Amino acid sequence: MIFPEAIRQGLARGLAGVFLFAFGAQQVHARGETALWIMKGAHNTVYLAGSVHALPKNDSEFPEQLERAYQQADVVVLEVDLAAMNPMDAVQFITSNGTLPADKTLKDVVGADAYTRVAALATSLEVPELVIAKLEPWAAALVLTQFALTRTGYDPELGVDMQITARAKADGKPIEGLETVTDQLNVFDARSFAEQTRFLDSADDAPKLGEDLTELIAAWRSGDLHSLEKEFLKERASRRSCTTLC
């Protein structure tokens, strides 16, 4: 069935965020390369690192400092424990919460003009219109963004989160999660349709995703926090009315 398969492909692998290599914390020190911080206590050390959720095959290795942090860590703490994540949880959540009632369509919710743009974007990404036609705006935005990601050459399976999960499982390191996939999806689903529609509007930038990712990953690898902050503030400015979703 095309609807669940599209959701599974689009959402099940890319919904985790910042991760910790943990064992305690007090004082924070920023490193000059990679977005990695070290917090040292009297007895414990925490490595806090920014996560990149997708990387290209030819540039998927860990930066040296991130590699050292992983080697020294006893416990891995992810925003979402991907090892315990059931991809069907996302499918079930969107089927139950991200699908519009029988008497409504996405076009009804966002208006004819906005829907025309969304449908054109879906066509350009080779997403059948029926995949998004009955989705709430937040769910349509996530699906379109994830489909755009697959066209960039950036693979979620090579993202830091997935690589860390696979390595920790192989090395016998405990993995813990701070929240679940449904916790994260609830943040989007709890917004009003007006807020969700503004979030969907940001999907217009999906064709530039590859270019944006190249710049962001270059800044991440070099620890260029100024560039990362600049990009973050630009994104917030473009979605000022829906910052709780960003």
Q: What is the pLDDT of residues 192-221, one digit of tens each?
A: 999 898 888 877 777 778 888 888 888 888
Structural domain of 48:
2-237
Residue 103 CB contacts under 8 Å (≥ 6 apart), including other chains? none
Question: Does the residue 67 lie in any domain?
Answer: yes
CA atoms of 5 and 132, how far apart (whole Å): 13
Most confident of the following: 61-65, 109-113, 141-145: 109-113
Question: Does the residue 159 lie in any domain?
Answer: yes
State which amino acid sits at residue 175.
I
Q: Give the count of domains, the chain.
A: 1
Question: Does the residue 245 lie in any domain?
Answer: no
Question: Does the residue 243 lie in any domain?
Answer: no
The pLDDT mean for the chain works out to: 79
What's the whole-model pTM score? 0.72
Residue 10's pLDDT is what?
41
If residue 87 lies in a helix (H) or strand (E), which one and from where to where?
A: helix 87-97
Percentage with pLDDT > 90 across the chain: 25
Query: Is the pLDDT score of 22 beyond 50?
Result: no
Question: Does the residue 244 lie in any domain?
Answer: no
Secondary structure tally for the chain: helices H, strands E: 12, 8
Question: Does the residue 242 lie in any domain?
Answer: no
- 82 exposed, middle or buried (CB, 10 Å; 0-12, 13-18, 19+)? buried
Question: What is the tens place of the pLDDT at every residue in 127-169?
Answer: 899 889 999 999 999 889 888 888 888 888 888 888 999 999 9
